[in-house]
């Protein structure tokens, strides 16, 4: 089966759903190792067609995207065998920052959506001193909305 790996940049954004790009990309890319623990979004994958390794951040709360970082064989081995992960996607805040730079946040009809509440909670757990304005930027909502989310 032919893969999409050569057509993807080293840091790729693959939207969930839409034109089916995610289905085409993941038709040959298989999960090799989950990070697990607090990094529920992060895993290592490998293409069964060409052998390319990808670190994948699956962000389905705010941006509905997969973020794929191309990894060389040595870095992938360190992840797979030693559990030593590159830091690019290691916090949810970093994943959301990449999303904000490379994508567009989902527009919520419910300003107190459980996905927003959970994300605000996760951001506060990762970095207790994160500001309301920083969270608003990452979520693509107003600072006032973040203040309401924090009160939930």
The pLDDT of residue 93? 98
Coil/strand/helix, residue 137: helix
Q: Helix-strand-coil percent breakdown of the chain, rounded to 5?
A: 40, 25, 35
Label the pairing between strands 11-15 and 29-36: unpaired
Partners of 70 in beta bridges: 54
Q: In this model, does residue 1 exceed pLDDT 80? A: no
Residue 45 has pLDDT above 80, yes or no: yes
Structure tokens at 11: 């840091």
Query: Is the per-residue pLDDT at 18 higher than 90?
Result: no
Judge whether residue 106 has pLDDT over 90: no
The C-alpha angle 61, 48, 4, rounded to 5 degrees, equals: 65
Largest Cα separation within the chain, whole Å, is: 50
Instruction: Calculate the average pLDDT of the chain.
Output: 96
pLDDT at residue 89 tops 90:
yes
Q: Helix 92-102 and helix 132-139: axis angle, to 10°?
A: 50
Confidence of residue 99 (pLDDT cuts 50, 70, 90): very high
| CA 7 vs CA 13, 14, 61: distances in Å | 12, 12, 26
Q: What tokens were used for 23?
A: 């289905």
In this model, does residue 39 exceed pLDDT 90? yes
| CA angle (76 as vertex; 127, 56 as ends), nearest 5 | 50
User: What mean pLDDT is predicted for residues 99-123?
Assistant: 94
């Amino acid at each position: 089966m032919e893969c999409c790996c050569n057509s993807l940049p080293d840091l790729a954004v693959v939207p969930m759903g839409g034109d089916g790009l995610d289905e085409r990309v993941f038709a040959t890319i298989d999960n090799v190792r989950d990070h697990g623990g607090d990094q529920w979004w992060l895993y290592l994958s490998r293409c069964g067609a060409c052998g390319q390794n990808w670190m994948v951040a699956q962000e389905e709360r705010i941006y509905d995207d997969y973020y794929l970082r191309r990894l060389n064989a040595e870095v992938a081995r360190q992840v797979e065998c030693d559990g030593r992960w590159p830091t690019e996607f290691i916090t949810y805040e970093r994943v959301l920052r990449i999303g904000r730079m490379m994508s567009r946040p989902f527009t919520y009809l419910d300003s107190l959506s459980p996905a927003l509440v959970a994300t605000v909670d996760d951001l506060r757990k990762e970095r207790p001193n994160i500001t309301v304005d920083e969270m608003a930027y990452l979520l693509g909502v107003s600072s006032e909305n973040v203040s309401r989310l924090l009160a939930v």
